[in-house]
Chain A
Amino acid sequence: MKEELERLFAEALEKLKGAVEERQVAEIKAEFLGKKGKITALLRGLVNISQEQRPVMGCLANEIKISLEEKIKESLEVIRERKRKEYLLHESLDITLPGRRVPIGRKHPITEVCNEIIGIFLGLGFQISEGPEVELDYYNFEALNIPKDHPARDMHDTFYISDEVLLRTHTSPVQIRVMEKQSPPIQIIAPGKAFRCDSDVSHTPMFHQVEGLMVGDNITFGDLKGILTIFVHQMFGDKTRLRFRPSFFPFTEPSAEVDMQCVICRGKGCRVCSFSGWLEILGSGMVDPEVFKIVGYNPNEITGFAFGLGIERVAMLKYGINDIRMFFENDMRFLGQF
């Protein structure tokens, strides 16, 4: 019996050596140690041997069984280790292929820039107001101190719907609508579309502006400078220099154009700034007393400032766009870049 056990053990070991798959090891295990396995069958024969021999043989059989189980385990481990190595060695991807992207879209650059501008003014405590894009002559001109037959109307090439109704030429009428409804203090911005009949590389018949209005008891021209300086610094960087120069708008007095140092050449002079080093970025001024009278405010008690800036202009500077018409062609090759 002892010889038989040792022979079976040796046979099992021999077979294990040839096993290369886990499945083969399992078969060997079943062949020798399974319910109907060869060693298991032999052990069943223990009942037939003598009383004295039984413990010795039993002990031996058990040792062989444990030993074989260990060998099987080792063999399995070897196979698994080999498999793991094979897996790492042979399975590899071309990781340079592009990833599987779910396509995402982009907001229009006008929206992006407008949101950035709005964000700055929200941070300064401004609220957002809106007004109609098709507007009465009254709000677009007359209430802004631009009477009919005033030469200042030449500054606006106006689209008319009728004698009294037009496409607003600026976002300034929102100022009047807000002041008519609210009493001071007022601190609003009004982003939106405006229209003028003009079309070339730097003009489109529709464009976007952000209007601003701040009215209260002691608002000064110095405050106007302060707020707009904060805006330009946040939008274009702290080091951007700016200058205020006299200009004319019928609804502000004094009026100021705001120039900022050219963002392209940093003031050295280039094609974008016509070699002046400066870029016109904002129109602004102290609200004209006539406008206060029109909305029923007392110009002796109230002061305020207003400003307006072109969103396209800011976007063009920010992204280096040189033809304003690109904004409204909506070519995917353009929209995809923002």
Chain B
Amino acid sequence: MKASFNWLREYVDIDFAPDELGEDLTMAGFEVESISKVDANLNNVVVGKIMSLKPHPNADKLSLCQVSTGGHLYSVVCGAANMISGDYVALALEGALLPNGVKIKNTRIRGELSQGMMCSEEELKIGRDSQRILILQDDGLELGKDIASALNLEDYIFEINITPNRPDCLSIIGIAREIASITGKILKIPKIEYREGNEKIDKLTSVEIHDPELCPRYSASLINDVTIGLSPFWMRRRLESAGIRPISNVVDVTNYVLMEFGQPLHAFDFDLLSERRIVVQRADDGDIFTSLDGMERHLFSDTLMICDGEKPVAIGGIMGGLNSEVSENTSNVLIESAYFNPTNIRKTSKKLGLQTEASYRFERGVDYGGVIRALNRATQLVLDFCGGKTAKGIVDQYPSPVFPKEISLSVNKTNKILGTSLKKMKVKRHLKGIELDVKDLDRDKVIVKIPSFRMDLHREVDLIEEVARLDGYNNIPTTTPVVRVNTAGKNPAQVSQDRAKDILTSIGYYEVVNYSFISPLSVALLNLDDEHPYKRFISIKNPLREDQSIMRTTLIPGLLNTMKTNVYNKNLNLKLFELGTVFYSVEHEKLPKEKKMLSALATGLKYGESWSFPGEGIDFYDIKGSLENLFEGLNVMNFNFLPTPDIPYLHPGKSSIIMVDNTEIGTVGEVRSEVLEGYELSDTVYVFELDFDLMVKHTFSDKKIKPLSKYPPIYRDIALIVDESVQFKDIYNAINKLSNKLVDNIQVFDVYRGRSVANGKKSLAYRIKYQSYERTLTDKEVNNIHEKLVSNLVEKTGARIRE
């Protein structure tokens, strides 16, 4: 809401600076987002009076004026035609620099001396009219006075954030009322009086409300023989200050009263109303109506329409119709001031996709007690600025009257909720300060009568808030609550999340946070068949962008896109992870299943660019090692990697399913090149994805240590030449099976292909640790056991010993 400082001052005395006022409003709950100064910047432009006017001797369209500034008389050549002798004008004198860049100099125009210029609104940048010069109203103007101060052009515009509960402050008087309560000054409501005509309004028109629920009150006045034209300069200026474009005097009056009192009004061209009457009723589904803005609107059965004797003429509370619009030919106007059902206005406004100053206020609730006052104010201003005469009386249909509410307020309860010790006297004083009618009920309670403009106050707690607000939140004592001692704040899953992030960052992974919504294309690129769980996504009905239109079922697309961003910025060595929620649609369930996933991506050089580390690229065993680190750090025991060719986006020979306690918890592998191409990526990329919730269930918390042996171990190595198809684990398991209890540990320490190993074969070298927990082993004893192990191994596996 935009509020002009000058306009506010019409209703309440403000004897402090704009920024102080802004601070006070903010602290009273009306957050002032900005205060902008309106500078006139009009030096050497002064009030002048045209003393004489005659045609220019050498030009048909120019005239020659003598303009007085009190002490001086200036000759001015002028091209406009709207002025007469005796008019007050804005005279720019030599040296003036107008906002449009024009510099005023004494000059000769077609041979005649011109010592200045009479300006239009547009030239002064205070209005839009560029055809005519600005004629000032002679209400005690001082000749020669600086135009900015004469017209009160300097102003401050407050941009105020009015919360939805305070529609009463969507008006200048509403804000002025709050200022009055802050400063203790008196609110000055303008005096409303006008001379009524003789003909009774009932004879001229009628209003019928067919749906009192949607329209509890409808009032109207009638003004005949108006002259449509420009509204006065000050009114147009005020409308502009509030962000409303001036249109014509009648329309401007309705908008002016809208901003002044917060009551939306509408003016109809009375002669365009069939049967010269108003009927308020619902539309039929599918009806079409052209609103003032020229748009065709498709109506619904709950759209409330203002109709005449035969057709709709306005969408009630939202926008008028083109068919009854006030135009320059209008001479008789009917002004509507009504109260519409807030919920229905909001529904209609949403359905039609049409929000207006009127609907914005009606849906929040206007002052039902102020309907007539606003109507009278508008009638008065129309008579003042558009001429004409009124009928006798007004129409006021009020089939379902709203009565002021009374609420009781307990001072004890107020203090209990706020933690204050306010006295009843003070509570009463605060409430009276915002025009509430307060009476004692008993020693503790008061009865508060709520005025019609405060629709938001309907419960005791609403009054408690008013008391807190008016006393000042910062005056409420700051205390600390007495609470029960609680147990630890994090559950095991939350602890595991922290731990997982600690582990992954400590081994070089950077945490990323991606949007929870992704592009449908990014999932399609993973080559999944239709049954794949990652395809069970849910879609957003109103996404901001197509590539943010489905909820992610996997974190991998996000990681690949993050890689893309970074590759673009030449960050090529990446180790990234994300721990976040994914969403799967579930049949017959409203909400999707949500679970936490932990995924990572690794690409580029193992150690980054370094002068001393080898420039080796990351490979499968790096990311597998990261997983092993993670599992060990999280106490996930019994994990196992099973080779699989079946993951559609991973290399069939370089991917694995991750099992824990025989449950599949995730996958790891190299991303297929065709998938990377889809993401416009190259290089070699490894990813893993874990069902974090599932994994956490397999963390082992009951850890016990193994005793340390007091006796030295003995190591023996064994290198076996096997077929390529034989895997590390096969031999490992065989050794394990053949081992006696002295074998404490088996480790692979070399995998070799090449010289001295035949094609299609490889050498696997294991180091076996022999260890007793009871005595010192002898070489001889270990040699015997080891030799036996080796010969058994050769026999069982068909492997050959590498010499």
Find the residue from B27, B416, B479, B612 having the highest chain A CB count within 10 A.
Answer: B479
- A187 and B486: CB pair below 8 A? yes
Contact in complex: A104, B507 (CB < 8 Å): yes
Q: How many A-B residue pairs have CB under 8 A?
A: 250
- A199 and B544 form a contact (CB under 8 A): yes
Interface flag for B742 (CB, 8 Å): no
Given the complex, which residues of B lie within 8 Å of A162, measured CB to CB?
A: 541, 590
Q: How far is the CB of B382 from chain A (nearest CB, A)?
A: 31
Whether A134 lies near B538 (C-beta < 8 A) is yes
- 6 closest Cβ pairs, A-B complex: A222-B419, A220-B419, A246-B29, A248-B163, A254-B465, A244-B473
Set of chain A residues within 8 Å of B574, measured between Cβ atoms: 332
Give Cα distance in the complex from A150 to B343, angstroms.
Answer: 7
Name which residue of chain B comes closest to A253, CB basis: B461
Return chain B residues, CB-CB under 8 Å to A229: 478
Kindly identify which residue among B465, B478, B516, B571 contacts A246, using a CB–CB cutoff of 8 Å: B465
* Contact across chains for B480 and A128 when beta carbons are under 8 A apart: no
In the complex, whether B511 has a CB less than 8 A from a CB of chain A is yes
- Cα A27 to Cα B465 in complex, Å, equals 103
Q: A257 vs B26: C-alpha distance in the bound complex, in angstroms?
A: 10
Residues from chain B with Cβ under 8 Å of A105 in the complex: 504-511, 575, 577
B611, CB-defined interface residue at 8 Å: yes
Interface SS, A side: mixed
Contact call A256/B473, Cβ cutoff below 8 A: yes
Kindly identify, within residues 157 to 171 of chain A, every residue whose CB is under 8 Å from any CB belonging to chain B: 159-162, 164-165, 167
Inter-subunit contact B544/A197 (CB<8 Å):
yes
Which of the 9-residue segments B77-85, B110-118, B490-498 touches chain A? B490-498
B364 at the interface (CB under 8 A from A): yes
CB <8 Å contact, A329 and B565: yes
Taking CB atoms, residues of chain B closer than 8 Å to A279 are none
A161–B541 contact, CB under 8 A? yes
Tell me the chain B residues, 503-555 only, with Cβ under 8 Å from chain A: 504-517, 538-544, 548, 551
Does A152 reach chain B (CB closer than 8 Å)?
yes
Which residues of B, 545-574, contact A by the 8 Å Cβ criterion?
A: 548, 551, 562, 565-566, 569, 571, 574
- A residues 281-302 in Cβ contact with B at 8 Å: 286, 288-289
Judging by beta carbons under 8 Å apart, are A187 and B483 in contact? Answer: yes
Chain B residues within an 8 Å CB radius of A132:
591, 594
* Complex interface: chain B residues within 8 A of A246 (CB): 27-29, 465, 468-469, 473
Residue among A98, A115, A221, A328 with the most chain B CB within 10 A?
A221
Query: Is the beta-carbon distance between B416 and A106 smaller than 8 angstroms?
Result: no
Q: Give the residues from 66 to 122 in chain A that come closer than 8 angstroms, CB to CB, to chain B.
A: 97-98, 100-108, 110-111, 115, 118, 121-122
Pairwise interchain contact B511-A254, C-beta atoms closer than 8 A: no
Question: For the complex, is A133 an interface residue (Cβ under 8 Å from B)?
Answer: yes
Supposing A134-B551, A335-B512 touch, asked if A98 and B611 sit within 8 A by C-beta, the answer is yes
Contact A108–B417 (Cβ < 8 Å): no
B484 within 8 A of A: yes
- Known: A100-B613, A222-B418. Is A227-B474 also a contact (CB below 8 A)? no
Given contacts A108-B513, A257-B31, contact A332 B569 (CB under 8 A): yes
- Can you list, as one digit per residue, whether each of B103-142 has a CB less than 8 Å from chain A (1) or not (0)? 0000000000000000000000000000000000000000
Do residues A253 and B548 form an inter-chain contact, with CB atoms below 8 A? Answer: no
A205 within 8 A of B: yes
Complex alpha-carbon distance, A331 and B487, angstroms: 39
Instruction: Give Cα distance in the complex from A132 to B592, angstroms.
Output: 9
Beyond the given pairs A185-B484, A226-B481, A245-B28, 5 more chain A to chain B contacts, judged by CB atoms under 8 angstroms and listed by A's residue number, are: A108-B513, A205-B517, A220-B419, A243-B473, A330-B566
Q: A225: CB under 8 A from chain B? A: yes
Q: Is the CB of B551 within 8 A of A330?
A: no
CA distance A113 to B775 in the complex (A): 55
Given that A185-B483, A222-B418 are contacting pairs, would A107 and B501 also be in contact in the complex, using a CB cutoff of 8 Å? yes
| Inter-chain contacts of A165 with B (CB < 8 A) | 590-591
Sample (25) of A-B pairs whose CB atoms are under 8 Å apart: A102-B508, A105-B511, A126-B486, A127-B486, A132-B591, A132-B594, A134-B594, A154-B164, A155-B164, A160-B542, A197-B542, A199-B544, A221-B419, A221-B420, A222-B419, A226-B479, A230-B480, A245-B27, A245-B473, A246-B28, A246-B29, A246-B468, A248-B29, A248-B165, A331-B569
Q: Determine the distance from Cα of A106 to Cα of B512 in the docked complex, in whole angstroms.
A: 9
Contact between chains at A136 and B507 (CB < 8 Å): no
Question: Taking the nearest CB of chain B, how far is it from the CB of A290, in angstroms?
Answer: 8
Q: Are B511 and A335 in contact (CB under 8 A)?
A: yes
